[in-house]
Structure 1
Amino acid sequence: MREIDGQKLDALAGRLIGDIGACVTGALVVLGDRLELYKAMADGEPVTAGELAAKTGYKERYLREWLSAQAAADYMQYDEATDSFSLTPEQATAFSQEDSPAFFAGAFEVVQSMWLDEPKIADAFRTGRGVGWHEHSNCLFRGTERFFRPGYNANIVSGWIPALDGVRERLEAGASVADVGCGHGASTILMAKAYPKSRFTGFDYHAPSIARARESAEEEGVADRVKFEQASAKDFPARGYDLVAMFDCLHDMGDPVGAGRHVKEALGKDGVWMIVEPFANDKLSDNLNPIGRIYYGASTMVCTPASLSQEVGLGLGAQAGELRLRKVALDAGFSRFRKATETPVNMVFEARP
Structure 2
Amino acid sequence: MCVACEMNLEQMESFAQRMMQIINEGSLGLMISLGHRTGLFECMKTMEWATSVEIAKVANLNERYVREWLGAMAVGRIVTVDNTGKLFNLPKEHVPFLTREGGNNIAVYAQYLSVMGGVEDRLVQCFETGEGIAYEAYDRFHEVMAEDSEQTVLSSLVEDIIPLVPNGLEKLEEGISVLDVGCGSGKALLMLAEHFPNSNFEGLDLCGPPIKSAQEIAMQKELKNAIFEQTDLTNFEFERKYDLIMAFDAIHDQARPDLVLKSIHGALETNGIFLMQDIDASENVCNNLDLPLGSMLYAASCMHCMPVSLGQNGMGLGAMWGVERAGRMLTEAGFTSVKEHRLEHDVQNCYFVAHK
TM-score, normalised to structure 1, is: 0.91
1:238 partnered with 2:239: yes
The count of residues paired between Structure 1 and Structure 2 equals 349
| Larger mean Cα displacement after TM superposition, 281-290 or 259-268 | 281-290
CA distance in 2, matches of 1:118, 1:314: 21
1:272 positional shift: 0.8
Contact kept in structure 1, 2:194 and 2:223, CA below 8 Å: no
In structure 1, C-alpha distance between the alignment counterparts of 2:269 and 2:128, rounded to whole Å:
44
Q: Does 1:223 align with 2:250?
A: no
In structure 1, what residue type is equivalent to 2:170?
Answer: E
Partner of 2:8: 5
The CA distance in 1 between the partners of 2:317 and 2:163, in whole Å, is: 27
Looking at structure 1, the residues matched to 109 and 215 of structure 2 have their Cα atoms a distance apart, in angstroms, of 23
Indicate the residue corresponding to 2:249 in structure 1: 248
Alignment partners' CA distance in 2, 1:222 and 1:86: 44
Aligned to 2:172: 171
**Corresponding residue number in structure 1 for 2:120:** 118
| Match in the other structure for 1:28 | 31
Distance apart, 1:348 and its partner CA: 0.5
Q: Contact 1:192/1:225 (CA < 8 Å) preserved in 2?
A: yes
Gapped regions of structure 2 (runs ≥ 5): none
Q: Which residue of the partner structure matches residue 130 of structure 1?
A: 132
Shift of 1:189: 2.2
User: How far apart in 2 are the matches of 1:287 and 1:194?
Assistant: 37
Residue 59 in structure 1 maps to residue 62 in structure 2 = yes
* Secondary structure, counterpart of 2:112 in structure 1: helix
Distance 1:82 1:9 in 2: 35
Secondary structure of 1:156 counterpart: helix
Pairs within 5 Å for 1:28-177: 28-80=31-83, 83-97=86-100, 100-134=102-136, 136-177=137-178
Q: 1:222 to 1:326 in 2, by over 3 A?
A: farther
Kindly provide the CA deviation profile for residues 261-306 of structure 1, in whole angstroms up to 9, marking residues without a partner as x.
1112221231111111011134311101342211111101011112
Q: Distance in 1 between matches of 2:331 and 2:222?
A: 35
Pick closer, same or farther for the CA change 1:84–1:310 going to 2, 3 Å: same
Q: Which runs of 5+ in 1 are unaligned?
A: none
Structure 1 pair 216/11, CA: closer, same or farther in 2 (3 Å)? Answer: farther
| RMSD (Å) for aligned C-alpha atoms | 2.2
Cα distance change of structure 1 residues 223 and 128 upon mapping to structure 2, 3 Å threshold: same
**Percent of aligned positions that are identical:** 29
Cα distance in 2 for partners of 1:11, 1:222 equals: 60
Partners of 1:109 and 1:139 within 8 A in 2: no
1:271 aligns with 2:272: yes
Of the structure 1 ranges 24-33 and 249-258, higher mean CA displacement relative to structure 2 is found in: 24-33
- Kindly provide the amino acid, as one letter, of the partner of residue 238 in structure 1: E
- 2:254 is aligned with what amino acid? M
**Letter in structure 2 aligned against 1:73:** G
AA partner of residue 122 (structure 1): V
In structure 2, the CA distance between the partners of 1:253 and 1:100, relative to structure 1 (3 Å rule), is: farther
1:180 is matched by which residue type in structure 2?
V
Equivalent residue runs for 1:253-264 within 5 Å: 253-264=254-265
